[in-house]
Chains A and B, each alone.
Chain A
């Protein structure tokens, strides 16, 4: 009996891919599935494009031209990839700790809102105010995620639920703030209509991130080197520091981690707060790097894209760089689509399908592996049942 239990545990506890499968075969299978999935995604998009009367070839050429066809386009794609990259980095950290933060949108909005307040109201030398603005975005996101972390520590409330619901709170709070003069709404110009637009004033030029180069020539904001540096920093910390190891332990086996002296609750809460801080920072970069004011819809779906990007890379920090670039391509290429007469939403359909294609193969293989192991376990139990 106990021997069976031990074998069962071994069977069910091993990470996917560890059981009876050669590594080369597994990788080969994965690549084949990726190719198949992407072909299917393209075929479906093609069929949709044909239905609305466009041509698939023109769609691709538009996406290509709009995203990497020119130096200027490459710069824009890189700029769009930056917030995705920063948000995704935070998401990946919570995944390592065994949690699932889906509150990036709210954390990004809160970070950006607090940053806007600082940028508009703090006076001083531009670079210092810029630093304070970015710091405020970090704090805003961290605090918003911190609510979820506290709820988890206090009553073990599921992070998925708390962070998801806090998104709605953040969206509504922002809506209120930018419609209220005393908070964030831009002052009504003299003689202008009372009420005004639900948006903040533009932040001063001195508080904007430097952006060398200008479209149509190559140009890219300072956000890019900062984001890449953050990825490098955390990739190294995750793999080389005791913190990174503890994070992995907590994600893999919280009970054993506790026994080994890890402060499981703190590590998990810290990971969530860090993830929120990064999402907030993405909001700060968006604010100071390209949008310059806050309004409803400010997040422009960057929070969700970051989450998806983290899902696609599955725990490989360095893979965030190419994958976030791909998300940037869909964005810039997609807006270029308009020029071909194909509706913009088709670009989003293509993005959705391509993300599915990127997420599907590993998940499918894992599922299949689990089904196989459960079958084996069931056979073992039936055989032994003692």
Chain B
């Protein structure tokens, strides 16, 4: 396979700002040269080079799927690279597995903590080490690290009793107890509050200044990269696009580099008025006197309540974590609203909210002007809220039932004859109709759902939700894990539904998907909407800033 030569950051190590803490002439603490990693036909990392100095916090910035985590997993030996080289202090090494990595002085704090909740803090720290468990020693290590870096943690506390911020601290203590030369943190702040994040960055600063360790900080948040790092390397689509001293960077430059130019191109096309045919047809078919349609905006009937209105909703996870924090938004009839945002900012919770599966602690939902009990799946169904959930196996279908049963499952009452028996003929008739109309590929209507491919399972979900004639439909990551054909199919279905007057809420972390069909785009960050723009005024730089948590 031919590998495209990408700009390498090797030459950038002589950058002026990063040199402050580095003694000249020495080899970098860790260096990746031309690392390539393929998963099947997908190239996760393409000839990536990265060099991190001692005494430096190196930011690795990029969107979801840019290849940051893959690169780090190669570095600590979780996955083997297909090509390229890793050097530690100038010496080429082959990292066999994470245990070997730890022995070599590479430690990584995982995004999803690798802590065992039922165990105590000292036990978790002791688990990172080989050999005999020594309670005394582990407690001493926890105390020492705590004093040294201001990372206080009670060694006798059980991890399950700690807050996420404290758990993060334990995770870092566990890594530091290995006395690593290179400490890697994968999205460490994704679960932290702003003050907890600041605290963590203070600790990292100590770690590099006092001990001349190297820190790699993976993040998609612009602010923390700017605040906490000395150098930043930006990845997009598996390649390094830019690397610079943080002192030379600003949020706009980072956002542009992270979101990328190809997206910009698409957005520009939309912005210069490449209106899609659906909109045009819609306008000519139903000229509404009250609502002059502006380019790129849906024709939203004035005077009519929005199809869906979410007002100041707060949703918490069972463990108390905030998932949606004062979320408010509106979707007009026939309008497609795209919810952009980096993964983990509340996308799944929006699906759960409109399915009636969320723990709503505040706020309300209105459908077509009527307030609906936000915790009652039946009320939401009855009000005409359709949901294509993020995880269809969890709440989108029942794999053990047949395709036909899955197609009617939210309307069983309508398929019951004489109150006692299911009208199986009617169910089959309906199933055959929908299988035809939605182009579902299945051996028969009675085939178990589990035997279908992911794409066809998704079509079953789409068919069921749209066939009920919903007032509004929320689609959360509807094409995730599916192929390109599925993306087109979904766009077409959503457009058709919007043209028929359904208010569509499209929640996606794929900006392309949103830019392709949304009339209006809102940005979701930490569980609330932080910005909004019409498609014809989309500005990718601003979008990137908002997604990264900056006001713009």
What is A's interface to B at a CB cutoff of 8 Å? 1-7, 9-10, 13-15, 18, 237, 240-242, 245-246, 248-249, 252-253, 255-261, 382-386
A382 contact set on B, CB distance < 8 A: 79
Known: A14-B399, A255-B357, A386-B69. Contact between A240 and B424, CB under 8 A? yes
B413 contact set on A, CB distance < 8 A: 242
A252 contact set on B, CB distance < 8 A: 398-401
Contact of B39 with A384 in the complex, beta carbons under 8 Å = yes
Contact of B481 with A3 in the complex, beta carbons under 8 Å = yes
Interface assignment of B542: CB less than 8 Å from any CB of chain A: no
Stretch at the interface among B221-229, B333-341, B387-395, B521-529: B387-395
What per-residue 1/0 map shows which CB atoms of B508-520 lie under 8 Å from chain A?
0000000000000
Interface assignment of B451: CB less than 8 Å from any CB of chain A: yes
What per-residue 1/0 map shows which CB atoms of B442-478 lie under 8 Å from chain A?
0000001011001000000000000000000000010
Additional A-B contacts beyond A7-B481, A14-B450, A248-B401 (15; CB < 8 A)? A9-B391, A13-B393, A15-B400, A241-B420, A242-B416, A249-B398, A253-B397, A253-B400, A255-B394, A258-B377, A259-B355, A260-B377, A261-B377, A386-B39, A386-B70
Known: A18-B451, A386-B70. Contact between A248 and B400, CB under 8 A? yes
Stretch at the interface among B18-26, B48-56, B175-183, B404-412: B404-412
Interface assignment of B344: CB less than 8 Å from any CB of chain A: no
Q: Report the Cα distance A14→B393, complex, angstroms.
A: 10
What per-residue 1/0 map shows which CB atoms of B198-239 lie under 8 Å from chain A?
000000000000000000000000000000000000000000
Known: A2-B481, A255-B357. Contact between A13 and B398, CB under 8 A? no
Known: A14-B450, A252-B399, A260-B410. Contact between A5 and B481, CB under 8 A? yes
Q: Report the Cα distance A259→B390, complex, angstroms.
A: 13
- 3 tightest A-B contacts by CB? A6-B481, A252-B400, A14-B450
B377 contact set on A, CB distance < 8 A: 258-261
Q: Report the Cα distance A134→B262, complex, angstroms.
A: 76
Q: How many A-B residue pairs have CB under 8 A?
A: 107
What per-residue 1/0 map shows which CB atoms of B486-518 lie under 8 Å from chain A?
000000000000000000000000000000000
Contact of A386 with B420 in the complex, beta carbons under 8 Å = no
Q: Report the Cα distance A13→B78, complex, angstroms.
A: 26
B412 contact set on A, CB distance < 8 A: 242, 245-246
B397 contact set on A, CB distance < 8 A: 253, 256
Contact of A259 with B387 in the complex, beta carbons under 8 Å = yes
CB distance from B111 to the nearest CB of A (A): 12
Give the residue name and chain of the B residue nearest to A264 (CB).
B377
**A–B complex contacts, Cβ < 8 Å, 26 sampled:** A2-B480, A6-B481, A6-B482, A9-B391, A9-B393, A10-B393, A13-B393, A13-B450, A14-B450, A18-B451, A240-B421, A240-B422, A241-B421, A245-B422, A246-B412, A249-B401, A252-B400, A255-B394, A256-B398, A258-B357, A259-B357, A259-B410, A260-B410, A261-B378, A383-B39, A386-B44
B400 contact set on A, CB distance < 8 A: 15, 248, 252-253
Q: Report the Cα distance A4→B79, complex, angstroms.
A: 15
B393 contact set on A, CB distance < 8 A: 9-10, 13
Known: A252-B401, A256-B398. Contact between A385 and B73, CB under 8 A? yes
Q: Report the Cα distance A257→B378, complex, angstroms.
A: 11
Give the residue name and chain of the A residue nearest to B477 (CB).
A2
Interface assignment of B356: CB less than 8 Å from any CB of chain A: yes
B79 contact set on A, CB distance < 8 A: 382, 384-386
A261 contact set on B, CB distance < 8 A: 377-378, 381, 410
A1 contact set on B, CB distance < 8 A: 65
For chain B residues 358-402, which have a beta carbon within 8 Å of chain A?
377-378, 381, 387, 389, 391, 393-401
Q: Report the Cα distance A9→B481, complex, angstroms.
A: 11
Q: Report the Cα distance A249→B37, complex, angstroms.
A: 42
Q: Report the Cα distance A252→B402, complex, angstroms.
A: 12
With a 10 A CB-CB cut-off, give which of A18, A252, A386 has the most chain B CB atoms. A386
B480 contact set on A, CB distance < 8 A: 2, 6
A384 contact set on B, CB distance < 8 A: 39, 79
A256 contact set on B, CB distance < 8 A: 394-398
A7 contact set on B, CB distance < 8 A: 454, 481
Q: Report the Cα distance A385→B98, complex, angstroms.
A: 13
Give the residue name and chain of the A residue nearest to B413 (CB).
A242
A241 contact set on B, CB distance < 8 A: 420-422
Contact of A385 with B401 in the complex, beta carbons under 8 Å = no
Partner of A6, one of B37, B44, B355, B454: B454
Q: Report the Cα distance A245→B410, complex, angstroms.
A: 12
Contact of A253 with B399 in the complex, beta carbons under 8 Å = yes
CB distance from A2 to the nearest CB of B (A): 4
Q: Report the Cα distance A246→B477, complex, angstroms.
A: 28
A259 contact set on B, CB distance < 8 A: 355-357, 377, 387, 389, 395, 410
B424 contact set on A, CB distance < 8 A: 240
Q: Report the Cα distance A257→B377, complex, angstroms.
A: 10
Give the residue name and chain of the B residue nearest to A240 (CB).
B421
What per-residue 1/0 map shows which CB atoms of B56-88 lie under 8 Å from chain A?
000000000100011001000011000000000
CB distance from B240 to the nearest CB of A (A): 17
Q: Report the Cα distance A170→B356, complex, angstroms.
A: 40
For chain B residues 126-152, which have a beta carbon within 8 Å of chain A?
none
Contact of B481 with A15 in the complex, beta carbons under 8 Å = no
